Each structure stands twice: as structure tokens, then as C-alpha cells.
Structure 1
Amino acid sequence: MRLVKIRGFRDREIRFDFPVTALVGPNGAGKTTILGAAGLIYEKVRPRQFFVKSGAYDNSMKGWRVEYNLIDTSQKTGSTRTRTASYLRAKWNRDAVKRDVAIIGIARTLPASERNDMYRFARNDFTAAGEISFDPPVLEAVRRILGKDAENYLKVAADKAGKAQIFALRDEDRPDENYSEFHFGAGEASIIRIVSKIEETANDSLILIEEIENGLHPVATRRLVEYLIDVARRKSCQIIFTTHSNDALAPLPTDAVWSSYKGRLTQGKLDVSALRTLTGQIDAQLAIFTEDRFDEMFADVTLRAYAQRKSLDRSSIRIHALGGSAPARDHTRFHNGNPTRTFPAVCLLDGDMRHEGGYVPLPLTHRRDGVERTGVDIVYAPGLSDPEEHVFSTIRSNMESGNLIGKLTLALQLDTPMQSRVRSSIIERGNTNRDRHLIYAQIGEDLDFLSETVVQRAFVTTWAYAFPDEVDAIWGPVQQLIPEAAGED
């Protein structure tokens, strides 16, 4: 989908490479615009549902245009069709396509007591016109998401046509514990409403959900997204949702996540806390973006060691993992290209990216405290592969130098007599391990099941303080961009 011109977007493209797509971004960044634009090309979506015009106050809508490249599923060859939706003068012009579309908005989280359509049920003398049990797929999904039995949930109708309904829980064996939706938790009602609507939709439908985590516990949010992935497989549906929650992103591959920020769209997982840093919602004087969680920890440990020796301020630096080399580079350069930014960003990449095309460091300048600071926008971890491999191999090759094993044992929070076991584990795992990304977990197993994160941090910390020249090679090119530590009075 190409957003030629609509609200804050100009000539931006988004691809839906995975059947479930998450849209993240700060408030007002355009997530709902993308959601609405995705549904706009289908007949069953009324344009005013997302894009209402209020007379002369919305003259900016003139010239809005969205272009689509749609896969024609009726053709075995998977041929594509191009379509356009545009707002020329006073109305939308669309080459609309037939497709079932389900829109699940924020209203689902409103408490029953605040909804105008619930007045019929809010009476002492209310009598139901009918009761409808949920189908097994709904009950199974609700049970898995909420983590409790869902057999007793039902829909209660206020009229024979079933146009007005309310949820209720009724247990024949414990009638004193029955209750209606007026006493449901917000998350409980929201999950039932989402799941029941999705299960009612036809196969191959498009499902649009706003703020999926609204009213939900983080665990329920993750389970709900797992359910959506199952729906995509089972019913061949396409699902797009907006979110501010990292928990909603966890079950998704990185290409299923798009971030929206200041009229730009970027593919790849973006931690919500990283997004807050980019948007200036978190105070920082320097941002570091990395490829993954290990690199995030690696940057933290090595920067602490470097800052201590150089009298620099580590506390004002924010470090975030962005799920891949390309997202880390792209977000870094997008941030640095923003003329209103108040701090620079640097990207830390694995050593194997040093000779890849498109990853050559670019000069970076930033004025702080009236002084022009210079550096580069990309730095590299040491070695020719990933830092996990380099750190382990360096320690393994230098175990007998400078009491390195003793220091590592203490960093692992183990007693000194454990040194021989630490040494034996390093030798054995070094000989048998086939994937260095797993080696720290394997060493943890050897040492009475130490946490993988504890082992990782211990190795990196020991390496960083034992080999300061290698740490200097990482951060030296950007030393001027790192804030100085405050001097003592």
C-alpha cells in the first residue's frame, strides 16, 4: 500500500509480508490512518468510518490518495491488481473491491454501564428474550487467552431479533455466583467480544483492531496475538492491529511489525521504550541502537567500562535492541536526519557487517553546550562474526593470563573453588558447541543451571575489563558524542 498523500504521510509505502501485522508508534503518529487506509479500498468499509470531513475545516483532505497492489486470490497464479482510493473534491473515489472486513474499535473496552445501548438491561425487572451459547472455537480461544474455563459464558438478548445483547456468566451449579457484563472486568469483556466477532467472520476476511492491548493484562495481550496468528492460519484471514505494547509484538516475526513516526514508516520490531526515546519522551543525550538483546547488553557493559576510564556519563545514554542490522541502521539515520532532534544516535552492529554494502559509517555531528561534537553513525563490535563468538573465543584463548578464570568465576557469582569447573566447561563447550548463540546457556547448565543472562553478562564484563584496547576500538570513534561526567564541586 502506498500512501501518496493522506494526513501526515507523503509517498510512503508499507508491505504486509506476514498475515498478522502490528502498527506501533506514539499517539498522533498515524497508526489509525494506516489501519483505515488498509480497509478503505474494500466496499464494506465506509470511508467516513476512518476519514470524516467536517466542512471547510477539513479542506486539507483535497488531493488525498492511496494506491494499492492487491493479490487476487481467485487466481491460482496469484496475480495482482492495482487499485486507487482518492479524495478529489467532496467525496471519496474508489475502485472498491469486495471482501469481508471486520473492524474492532476502542468502543469494545467501554464498561457496559457507560454504553448507551445497554439501557434495556439495566433494570431490576429485566427478562431475557433469549440466550445464545458461544460456539466451541470461541470458548476454546477465550479459555486459552483468559486462562480459565469459558463454558458458562453466554450472550443474552433483549429482543427476539437479537439486536441488543449483553454478555453474562451463568453457572447452574452455583447460581449465587452468576453475573452479567455489568460486572465483567474490562479485559474479560474485550476478549470475548474480539474472539466472538473474529470467529463469526468469513474465511479470507480482513480484520482491523485498534489498540489491541487496551484493558488487557500483558499475558492476555500476548496470548491474544498468538490467537490471531492461529486465526490467520486456520481461516486465511489477514489481521492488522495498532498497539503501544511490547507484549503484543513478542509473538510476531520482525517483518510483521511497522513503526510510524513523523510521517515515516519503518519495518522491523521496535521496542516501545526505544520509540519513546526516538520521540523525545525519554530524556537522553545519546541513543545507541543495536541488532539484538545480546548486543544491547554488550553495549551497556562495554560503555560502562569505557565511561569509567574516560570520565564519561553512561547514565544519560539510552540503549535499545531493534531486531536486526537494517532496522538499527535505518532508525539511527532517520533519527539523525531529523533537524529537530535534541541528541544524536549511534548504531552498534556485529563485526560481520563491517564489510557489507550499505553499512559504511557516515560522519555525524552534534552541537552540545555550544560545542560542535563529531563522530560516526555506525560502530562495530570486534571480530569478524558476532560478539558472542568473539568474547567467548578471546576468553578461551587467554584463560591462563592475568587470573582471567578467577575474575570470570567471581563475575559468575561463584565461589573461588569453582574455578576448575568453569575452566572445564569452557574447554568442553568450546569443543562441542555448534552455535555460539547457545554456548552461554550450555555453560550455565554445566554450572548448576546458572541463568543464561548471568553467564552472558559475566563473560562480557570480564572481557571488557581485561581487554580495554578492544573496547576503545568500539567506542573511540564516537567518544566526542558521549556526554562527559559531571565534575565534583
Structure 2
Amino acid sequence: MNAGNRFRSEIRHGTIQELAGKVAKESYGQYLRKLTLAKVRGFSNIEVSFDFPVTAVVGPNGGGKSTILGAAGLPYSSVPPSRFFAKSGKYDDSMQNWSIEYQLIEKGLNRKLPVLRTASFKRLKWNRTAVDRRVLIFGVERTVPASERQNLRRAVGSAFEAVRETCLPDHVIDQAEKVLAKPLAGFRQLFLDDIDRLSIFSGVTALGDGYSEFHFGAGEASVIRIIAEVEAAEENSLILIEEIENGLHPVATQRMVEYLIDVAHRRKCQVVFTTHSNDALAPLPPEAIWAALGDRVIQGKLDVRSLRAITGQVEADVVVFVEDQFARDLVATALRRDGGVELDMIEIHAMSGAAVAKNATLHHNSIPTTWQPALCFLDGDQGELADEDKQIHLLPGNSDPERTVLDDICSNLDELAAKLTLSLRLPLDRQQQVVSVIRTRRTTNRDVHLIFQQIGEDLGFLSAHDVAHAFLALWANEFPEPTKMIVDLIRQAQQRGRPTPASA
């Protein structure tokens, strides 16, 4: 559990589980279930499954985010291949023999079995047997300010009058207000042509004065446009969004993703978006997130900042990957206690579980141009994933690190009570209360990831972060052998340099 993450989604956990269950049961009329990049750009035989109806694709620049996004649209006839995979004469000879394989849910074609399709580029053109599905695409150009878009110049000038005007529907205003956190009553859509292909929005100030999209924030106009089009789309539509956070405040980015999860729930839509933002990942479950790393992918929730470490684009001597924030704090505490390792030269990254941490380590160490070694420390109960030859190690104990630290402290709690009370920044006259709370919570706790939060609440609303750090500091000082093991492995890696590349 990441005690430092204060984000709390308004999407109920039950809704997340329900949506994931619908995908597992294939309870959709239309759904892109899986794609395999047999050969596309840097990818070869790479599979991406869509295990949640809202999928985020993250990655460094050039990692392949747009490749996956474009590939998601290619099996559908409404998406021209050139939208994402344009060929520029002889300069794109590498496109020859590109191939993408698909597993689709298409109940109109086969009610019982997935429908298989292939899109391939041969003889200078794309070949595909596409199926019909409504696909909405929102590219990065959506956040270009109206004043900089040449196709809107006709709306400039005192003589401009729209071909047609409509009030934004109440349900569109309601959803957009939730994302933007501002009143949108009186907003209108102004159409510039007879076929409704080109439009701008207009709003009203609190004083009743009107203003056009030329005076909107680019992110504000983007949100309203996306929501208006999504709410007008039919059920089972596919929505593709490039760089969802463009032009948005971090909180608005989170709310936008929550809106898309809500759309998936209400309207059975499927969404795929690319992002560089941790805020866009916060509302999503781990299975909804893929990291594109140039020639491979990793599924699971991770900190976007760790992507540079995974791909070796850091200046540190050693990179360490662990399962979660508590494990990260444990390793950092061990290094601080030792004092012999320069902390600025060690990067420690909390991932979202054992598999993601291990895969990140293997990928980092497999890159030929990466000079610094990566190590992985998994929780003590992940012995089946450990592989010391590939730098996949275990933290002390045979369970979650929270359990190990708690049990070690409790094994000598009466003697350590005074030190722990002071470490918690409490007066010594509360020492017996500290002991009583810890013993009670240790007995009643069902989820050890919550233990420090529970102890903090019982002691007077101390933060989980402060309680965890108090336990860790005392544990590192009183039980030096486990921390020495961690530090020794990091120091050895720092001294020997980059290990032999490991294959995933």
C-alpha cells in the first residue's frame, strides 16, 4: 500500500470489479479483446490484452504508445490506416511485412467465439478484413487554441454568424462540470458549416456576458468537445485519445479518466488512451495499464517517473525496483542507516506488485546500452519469483515487509516501547497506550498493509506515513542484520558495474 498516495477515486471498487468481470466473461456486443504486434516498428510478437474497458498506455518518447493506440483502431473499417500508419514513399520501406493480429468480440458475427482478424502491410498497401464499429479519435490537435486553427478563421470577425446554434444538452453540461469544476450553464455549440463537421463553443460569464471558444482555455474546450461527442456516440463505441492530460490540470486529468470509466459502465464503451501522467493512471486498476518500452511491453500500475529508470535513461549508479511504497521506504531506510552509500546515486522505484517489479528489472538489465545495474527486492513471500543470478532478490522475512517489521518490533516491544513512543513524537507518558494499541491492532488486523494507518488513527490521527517511518527507523537500528543484507547487495552491484544482460 502506498501510504503517500492521497488520491481517492469516486469510482466505487465494486464498479471496477464489475467492469473487469464483464471483460473476462466477454459480455460485450463489440470489444477489442487482444492484439498481437507480430511485426510493427520496434515490436515483434508482442501481445497486448485489454482486460479492462479503459486502458492507458504509458511509456517514454518513442516507446510505442501511439503504435499501440493506432493498432487498436486498425481492425475497424471507420479508421483509415493512414491515420496512424502513413507511408511516405521510399522513406518508409521498413513498413513492408508489418502485421497485427486481433481477437475481437463481435456478437453480430459470432455470438459464441472470438472473431480473429489480421491487418498486414504488403505490396505497398494495408490489407485487412475490417469490421464495422463506431470509433471516435481525439488527437493532440484537439488542444490547439481556437485562435491558432486555420479552419476556424471563418468564425473571426464582427460579421460572423453561425450556420446553426444548439444548447449543450443538460447531461453533457453535467458531465463536463464534474471534470472542469465550473458552471457551464448557457454554453452552446456553434456550427460553421451545413454538415456539422466544424464547430466552436460559446459560454456565458457569471455576469451574463457571452464569449466564444477563442477565449476558452484549450483544455477546457477539449474536455467539452470530447464529452459532447462521447455522449452522442452509440453503445459499444471505441474511443481513442492521444495524451489525455494535454491542457488539463492534474485533478481535471483524474476526473477525466473517472468520467471515461463511468462511460464504460453506462454505455458499454471501450477506451484506449496514451499518457505521460501519473494522474491519469490513478483511478485505474493495474490490469488497465500498459507500458510501451520500444520493443516490449509491461502490464501493471507503475510510476511514470520510473519509465526512465526502466529504460536506463538515468544517471544513478544502481536502480532498485520494489513492489510498493513501503518496500521502497524500507530500502531507503536501510541505506540511510548504513551511511556508506551515496543516496543520490541510488534510484529506488515502487512498482505495483511483484511481477511488474521483476519485469522492470529484467528489461533494464537486458538493454545493451544501459551501463548501471538494476536490482529487484520482492516481498519475502515471493520466493517462487526470486532469481539471484538475474538480480531478483527477496526482502527480509517470509511475508509482507510490513508484517516482518511489525513482528520484529513486537518480539521485544516492552523494551523498545520508549524508543518507539519518542520516534512517534509522542510524550513518554503515553508509552503504555502505544504498547496497548500496537498489540490490539496486531491481534485484530486482517490486512497488514493497513496496520500503520490503523495504529495512527488509534493514537490520535497520526499519519500512516509517520507511523510507518517510526517503525522502520527503529527496526533498522535494532535489527541491523536484515538491513545489512540489503545494503550489501546494493553495494556489490555498485562496485561490479552492470551485470550480464538478463532475458525476460
Match of 1:102 in 2: 136
Match of 2:376 in 1: 347
Matched, 1:407 2:439: no
2:144, 2:430 → 1: CA distance? Answer: 58
Task: Please state whether the residue corresponding to 1:219 is helix, strand or coil.
Answer: helix
2:134, 2:196 → 1: CA distance? Answer: 22
Aligned CA distance change for structure 1 residues 65 and 340 (closer, same or farther; 3 Å):
same
1:339-391 Cα distance to aligned partner (Å, 9 max, x none): 1112111111111112x2xx132325xxxxxxxxxxxx122122221011111
**Equivalent runs, 1:156-167 vs 2, <5 Å:** 156-167=190-201
Deviation, structure 1 residue 232: 0.8
Deviation, structure 1 residue 161: 4.3
Deviation, structure 1 residue 227: 0.6
Matched, 1:323 2:352: yes
Match of 1:295 in 2: 327
Query: Which consecutive residues of structure 2, in runs of 5 or more, have no partner in the other structure?
Result: 1-34, 497-504
Match of 1:148 in 2: 182
Deviation, structure 1 residue 394: 1.3
Match of 1:370 in 2: none
Matched, 1:438 2:467: no
2:247, 2:160 → 1: CA distance? Answer: 28
Deviation, structure 1 residue 155: 0.5
Match of 1:333 in 2: 362
Matched, 1:174 2:203: no
1:410, 1:158 → 2: CA distance? Answer: 69
1:189, 1:10 → 2: CA distance? Answer: 38
Q: What TM-score comes out, normalization by structure 1 length? A: 0.91
**Equivalent runs, 1:440-479 vs 2, <5 Å:** 440-479=452-491
- 408, 414, 428: which one aligns with 1:394: 408
- 395, 402, 416: which one aligns with 1:381: 395
Paired AA for residue 385 in structure 1: S
**Equivalent runs, 1:418-429 vs 2, <5 Å:** 418-429=430-441
1:419, 1:186 → 2: CA distance? Answer: 56
Match of 1:374 in 2: none
Runs in 1 of length 4+ with deviation above 6 angstroms?
Answer: none
1:276, 1:255 → 2: CA distance? Answer: 21
- 177, 190, 196: which one aligns with 2:228: 196
1:229-258 Cα distance to aligned partner (Å, 9 max, x none): 111111111110000000000111111101
Deviation, structure 1 residue 162: 3.5
- 214, 219, 230: which one aligns with 2:251: 219
Task: Please state whether the residue corresponding to 1:119 is helix, strand or coil.
Answer: helix
Matched, 1:361 2:393: no
Matched, 1:244 2:270: no
Deviation, structure 1 residue 71: 1.8
Aligned 8 A contact 1:289 1:346 in 2: yes
Aligned CA distance change for structure 1 residues 159 and 53 (closer, same or farther; 3 Å):
closer
Deviation, structure 1 residue 160: 4.9
1:116-156 Cα distance to aligned partner (Å, 9 max, x none): 11111110222233321122221111011011222222111
- 177, 181, 186: which one aligns with 2:218: 186
Match of 2:31 in 1: none
Aligned 8 A contact 2:331 2:486 in 1: no
Aligned 8 A contact 1:71 1:78 in 2: no
Match of 1:372 in 2: none
- 48, 58, 73: which one aligns with 2:82: 48
Task: Please state whether the residue corresponding to 1:439 is helix, strand or coil.
Answer: helix
Paired AA for residue 406 in structure 2: F
Aligned pairs, number: 462
Deviation, structure 1 residue 423: 1.6
Matched, 1:23 2:57: yes
- 80, 85, 88: which one aligns with 2:119: 85
Paired AA for residue 476 in structure 1: D
Aligned 8 A contact 1:350 1:381 in 2: yes
2:352, 2:63 → 1: CA distance? Answer: 21
Deviation, structure 1 residue 75: 6.8
CA RMSD in angstroms, aligned pairs only: 1.7
Aligned 8 A contact 1:284 1:318 in 2: yes
Aligned CA distance change for structure 1 residues 396 and 181 (closer, same or farther; 3 Å):
same
1:186, 1:406 → 2: CA distance? Answer: 57
